[in-house]
Structure 1
């Protein structure tokens, strides 16, 4: 087929443009035209792009030039500015007829059995409307649409009660409705990569400027627009377009600037019995989260109720709404610093930043620091969907459910609780609706969606663990293949994710230990040791100027000088030199609990014998051989699990603290106890 192959010398970009022209003619627009006109016209992007789609849908430069002139002429002559409403009404009266562009809302007057309209910018209401238009364009009744309207003016002296303004003809310049089947059918003609690029382009961005990971994060921003009651948080540097999509792209979302808000404005006004923003919009986005405050004392509690259930109680009634909630804001420090000193929700107001019940209701945390700052060349000049067409597609897809899309191939691991499962299923549904609206996807496609969905939810859970402690210990998210029963674990990028402690036998002299670092956070440390012929020197790298860490390694070498022979005569502190490199794998600062790990590392290198596979060394000793128990055992074991450890070398003195560890966490390891430093060395090396 020609559509699946490149023509001679045709670039992938040109192929994508050709496919869009073929399958979505009249519903696409060249985005550079939008930019050029938008800069001089205070008109919604979706209105502007609809006009451009009608008059500039061609590759012929002359047709495009004429079309742009036509669009500019229509806007200048017919677009009603609110401050010029009286001037337009005066012209209408003098001429007897006039054509305007305005947002028209219709409603049924039951008492008089007729449809009446309200003009948003023109400021007139109760204008009669032919029922034919309501039947044809039902969106007039559902929030209104922008239209070109031919108006007539005739004042009748004999019937002063009759409205002098009448609608001669009404033509929508937004999508009056869309055919989902048309989109689903056309989707089959595009590859996944092509469709992803079309979606990114349709938000105004140039996909070639982003890598695949960044494209998926940009796609995640669209989930609140296509999924009901979805709660998303994105914090990151300035100028990364966090609020762009909610302000400019969709007519169905509203951006609330940071500052005071009220329960009446957001949820329900008891005085006039009207539902607030969550009942009027598909998505309510809060810009600059640091400034969010409620005048009402119960504001955050009502928000928590709504975020959890999609409903809220006011007075004697319980109200339901489907609006998604988005929280965007700026991170003023580097993520590394924030992770070491605080947590990733710190930019929120204090009333929210340390409220684990509120934060647990966040389904998704998009790492905004991974998206580059926008530059002028990040905005596309190619064909893509008219934003109104994209918005209506997303709005219609809100009615469909894809939350069980992953069940065909996978099931969730045991660490996901009910809130986690709900959050991940919502993301799976959102990503599937966006990328595979026709419901056709492979096992590999769904695995890709699960990977990003589990990560975005796990980021929330990791921060909850930092704030709320071991109540949120179960962060080791995974999914299980229904056919092979293979379990795949998903990490978060900023914490190293993945498995820091590899499976299989590692080199002699290499060991992993887990303990508290200088910042107070628990981290993973790798020791790599070499034994060389020499005269008993120890060379250490990776410790920097940390005195406590250096003192711990000196203690280890002195212990071996005094007691090394009780382990093995091959461990010489006079005929061998040892080079040890210490690595802080999580970036939490070097630890001072290095005496026992260093003893085991030197013994392993001297004896040329590796430690057990997937082993983490816990605990420490004094120069006399006294054993110190592990601080924060439950938290330390959780880091062991996240890092891939399967065997734990644990001091017997820590056995008393095992009651504080959740049974599921304890059961994840093979625990190996030791009573003495010598026993620790033998058991670490697998020597009976």
Structure 2
């Protein structure tokens, strides 16, 4: 086990499970992850390998004996008849038969209906009346001569969930972990290997948990296929319900006027709408209107008395085009059905999670480490819905008073959710709050900026916050930094004007600023190709390469010195090779350029490091580039910069290590081949003219 896994088992013994065990026991049983982990938590909540192996076999046996496959439903029915009683694992729903004044259960996989249920069971588990719930149930068979009486009887039922959680113990154990360890624990709990994700990417994954800890929180995530958008809502918690966007009706979602029974919003913490996008889809206007009222006021009415509920809404769907296409031709909500591509509906969204920043899920991204039994974490998150952490950021920062009350509420709800997930005991620092506040502001700003495109009557809002020093700190979205030539297009422009304005922008210029912009312009102004300045690049943005960052500043140089103490591991030396390749491609064939690297030794495997660096020297023979390298003799060099004999010094806080590591082990990816298609780490670059 890793050091983190040992720590997890030490402080959360009995509430964690090794996440790769789910695959080991699942087989062909089509059950949610929380069902499997509930069983694993009963029998495999240990770090003893022998006990784990024994527990796996026990869980497999339980599933083999009691999980009902549809194809074997007849066999299980026969077993119930012959034995008189049998335990099954199935998805069960209950309805009231008004003709007989009795409750009747339906077993989804077992295929039996009209199973008698007593009123006490229904009162104890009211969700059974709304939709199917996974349960372990004892079913009896009692034949009756009366044809109106069903032979099936539900004797006992137990929804698959942890009954009680020690919340104070959870907070105390949280204090034993650093912020970074806790975030990695949460990542492993939702099934992912933390090492496969950058800092911002981890926070975006955890942002999907906010609807489970915040009441009446509305979030949308649109992005490419295969990024796991619906996984959290279908597999993670027994308190969330995932439904197809095209299958929802007013009675199912809100209230049935014929019997007054409340719908999904009354029984579930989160209602997620899968496959929500699609321009060809249509939606009932009355449903959209009720949804808008509920999202704004937490209440709904169908001509009777107003009713309230606490369910959060999550909308997930696939985009048809990439981000620059959407920004140039429409907006980031273009994939929504026409009835939902409505300014009043969109304005009620608290956050827009940028799905295009999340990588397509691959096998190597899943964890083999320990994480919370998802049902345990789901119960903790449900308890946290009672708390309100929205005022805690005010202890350190002040959000702009120029934004509307709706914008402010959205930002504070996102902040409250983040703090509940990561800092449930309230021990966050100002730096911790600032990192989350920037993401919360950005998530709402993405909604508001697109609203301005859709409906020009919405004001252009300046999203900023101030710290204790009184300095205004403006927030930008990643796509705003990456595609300024399209982001600032105004909705009033006709296509010809847009084409003229975007043609004037030099695509090779990198524009990264945190200063206020004059958004009356239709595109960002071009900058000189070489000038002094300091630029900050946000994590997860793309479109950056060594050629764009350094190329113009290296032109004409005959000697380039790169100082970076961490050109040690293979991927770092590969970065150095790509830097050399860039110089070779830019220089004239007849020119000779010397590149000298000053770095530090890899104490773990210095011989391999030497071999790889020498291979760059050998590869450059005959290219017009002379590559040399040396270890820093003093052992004290910490600077990371590039210095040319033409007078330029380029200071980098990360040296050449600016890209997130591609994780694909087999096959191909554009990120492996082209730097512009790699996601960045957060870094800065400063250009200084020395003479």
The normalised TM-score by structure 2 is 0.64
User: C-alpha displacement at 1:49, in angstroms?
Assistant: 0.9
The aligned counterpart of 1:274 is 261
Deviation readout 1:25-56 (Å, 9 max, x if unpaired): 22211111102322421222111111112222
Hey, what's the Cα distance between the residues in 1 that align with 2:118 and 2:301?
A: 38
The aligned counterpart of 2:14 is 26
Q: Does the 8 A contact of 1:117 with 1:126 survive in 2? A: yes
1:244 matched to 2:231: yes
User: C-alpha displacement at 1:286, in angstroms?
Assistant: 1.9
Q: Could you say if the C-alpha distance between residues 445 and 497 of structure 1 is closer, same or farther in structure 2, counting changes exceeding 3 Å?
A: farther
Q: Which of the numbers 378, 390, 405 marks the counterpart of 1:391?
A: 378
Deviation readout 1:195-230 (Å, 9 max, x if unpaired): 111111111111110000101111111111221111
The aligned counterpart of 1:330 is 318
Q: Which of the numbers 467, 473, 477 marks the counterpart of 1:492?
A: 477
Q: Could you say if the C-alpha distance between residues 153 and 275 of structure 1 is closer, same or farther in structure 2, counting changes exceeding 3 Å?
A: closer
Q: Which of the numbers 221, 243, 246 marks the counterpart of 1:259?
A: 246
Q: Does the 8 A contact of 1:156 with 1:164 survive in 2? A: no
User: C-alpha displacement at 1:440, in angstroms?
Assistant: 2.0
The aligned counterpart of 2:24 is 36
Deviation readout 1:236-295 (Å, 9 max, x if unpaired): 111111111112222222222243643233222223322222223222222233338555
Hey, what's the Cα distance between the residues in 2 that align with 1:244 and 1:452?
A: 22
User: C-alpha displacement at 1:164, in angstroms?
Assistant: 8.5
- 1:406-417 equivalences under 5 Å are 406-417=393-404
The aligned counterpart of 1:437 is 424
Tell me the secondary structure at the aligned position of residue 524 of structure 2. Answer: strand
Q: Does the 8 A contact of 2:115 with 2:152 survive in 1? A: no
The aligned counterpart of 2:37 is 49
1:215 matched to 2:215: no
Q: Does the 8 A contact of 2:351 with 2:410 survive in 1? A: yes
Q: Which of the numbers 42, 53, 61 marks the counterpart of 1:65?
A: 53
Task: Note the aligned Cα RMSD (angstroms).
Answer: 3.9
The aligned counterpart of 1:225 is 212
Q: Does the 8 A contact of 2:130 with 2:263 survive in 1? A: no
Q: Could you say if the C-alpha distance between residues 116 and 16 of structure 1 is closer, same or farther in structure 2, counting changes exceeding 3 Å?
A: farther
Q: Which of the numbers 279, 283, 296 marks the counterpart of 2:270?
A: 283
Q: Could you say if the C-alpha distance between residues 139 and 56 of structure 1 is closer, same or farther in structure 2, counting changes exceeding 3 Å?
A: farther
The aligned counterpart of 1:303 is 291
The aligned counterpart of 2:523 is 523
Q: Could you say if the C-alpha distance between residues 150 and 241 of structure 1 is closer, same or farther in structure 2, counting changes exceeding 3 Å?
A: closer
Hey, what's the Cα distance between the residues in 2 that align with 1:68 and 1:38?
A: 10
Hey, what's the Cα distance between the residues in 1 that align with 2:132 and 2:372?
A: 21
Hey, what's the Cα distance between the residues in 2 that align with 1:79 and 1:347?
A: 39
Q: Could you say if the C-alpha distance between residues 342 and 117 of structure 1 is closer, same or farther in structure 2, counting changes exceeding 3 Å?
A: closer
Q: Does the 8 A contact of 2:192 with 2:367 survive in 1? A: yes
The aligned counterpart of 2:332 is 344
Hey, what's the Cα distance between the residues in 2 that align with 1:138 and 1:282?
A: 14
Q: Could you say if the C-alpha distance between residues 346 and 129 of structure 1 is closer, same or farther in structure 2, counting changes exceeding 3 Å?
A: closer
Hey, what's the Cα distance between the residues in 1 that align with 2:170 and 2:454?
A: 44
Q: Could you say if the C-alpha distance between residues 276 and 165 of structure 1 is closer, same or farther in structure 2, counting changes exceeding 3 Å?
A: closer
Q: Could you say if the C-alpha distance between residues 165 and 287 of structure 1 is closer, same or farther in structure 2, counting changes exceeding 3 Å?
A: closer
The aligned counterpart of 2:439 is 452
The aligned counterpart of 2:626 is none
- 1:524-673 equivalences under 5 Å are 524-528=524-528
Tell me the secondary structure at the aligned position of residue 245 of structure 1. Answer: helix
Q: Could you say if the C-alpha distance between residues 416 and 80 of structure 1 is closer, same or farther in structure 2, counting changes exceeding 3 Å?
A: same
Hey, what's the Cα distance between the residues in 2 that align with 1:442 and 1:150?
A: 51
Hey, what's the Cα distance between the residues in 2 that align with 1:291 and 1:127?
A: 41
User: C-alpha displacement at 1:90, in angstroms?
Assistant: 3.8
The normalised TM-score by structure 1 is 0.64
User: C-alpha displacement at 1:431, in angstroms?
Assistant: 0.3
Q: Could you say if the C-alpha distance between residues 151 and 331 of structure 1 is closer, same or farther in structure 2, counting changes exceeding 3 Å?
A: closer
Aligned residues: 497
Tell me the secondary structure at the aligned position of residue 466 of structure 2. Answer: strand
User: C-alpha displacement at 1:423, in angstroms?
Assistant: 0.3
The aligned counterpart of 1:539 is none
Hey, what's the Cα distance between the residues in 1 that align with 2:248 and 2:230?
A: 18
The aligned counterpart of 2:3 is 15
Q: Does the 8 A contact of 1:294 with 1:300 survive in 2? A: no
Hey, what's the Cα distance between the residues in 2 that align with 1:164 and 1:371?
A: 48
The aligned counterpart of 1:682 is none
Hey, what's the Cα distance between the residues in 2 that align with 1:518 and 1:25?
A: 61
Q: Could you say if the C-alpha distance between residues 116 and 187 of structure 1 is closer, same or farther in structure 2, counting changes exceeding 3 Å?
A: farther
The aligned counterpart of 1:427 is 414
User: C-alpha displacement at 1:97, in angstroms?
Assistant: 3.9
Q: Could you say if the C-alpha distance between residues 188 and 522 of structure 1 is closer, same or farther in structure 2, counting changes exceeding 3 Å?
A: same
1:360 matched to 2:342: no
User: C-alpha displacement at 1:350, in angstroms?
Assistant: 2.6
Hey, what's the Cα distance between the residues in 2 that align with 1:48 and 1:231?
A: 29
Larger radius of gyration between Structure 1 and Structure 2: 1
Q: Does the 8 A contact of 2:246 with 2:283 survive in 1? A: no
- 1:363-378 equivalences under 5 Å are 363-378=350-365
Deviation readout 1:316-361 (Å, 9 max, x if unpaired): 22121212112222222221222122211111123332x2211111
The aligned counterpart of 1:316 is 304
Hey, what's the Cα distance between the residues in 2 that align with 1:115 and 1:101?
A: 20
Hey, what's the Cα distance between the residues in 1 that align with 2:530 and 2:152?
A: 95
User: C-alpha displacement at 1:16, in angstroms?
Assistant: 1.4
Hey, what's the Cα distance between the residues in 1 that align with 2:430 and 2:440?
A: 15
The aligned counterpart of 2:551 is none
